[in-house]
Structure 1
Amino acid sequence: MRVIVQPGVFDAAALMQGFGAGAGAVVTFTGLVRGDDGLVALEIEHYPGMTERALQDHAQAAVGRFGLADVLVVHRHGRMEVGEPIMMVATAARHRRAAFDAADFLMDWLKSRAPFWKREIGPEGPRGWVSAKDEDEAALGRW
Structure 2
Amino acid sequence: MNLVRGNRHGHASEWNNAMKDELENMDQQQFSDLNANLANFHQQLVSLEQKHSQKFNSNLSQIISLILESSKVSLHRSIDKEKIAASNDKVSALQVDKKNLRAELNSTVKLSKSTNSIDSRPRRTRSDPDKLSASQQNTE
What's the TM-score bracket when you normalise by the shorter of the two chains?
under 0.3
Q: Normalized against structure 1, the TM-score is what? A: 0.19
Q: Which structure ranks higher in relative contact order (CA pairs < 8 Å, sequence separation ≥ 6)?
A: 1
Q: Normalized against structure 2, the TM-score is what? A: 0.20
Q: In proportion to residue count, which structure has more strand? A: 1
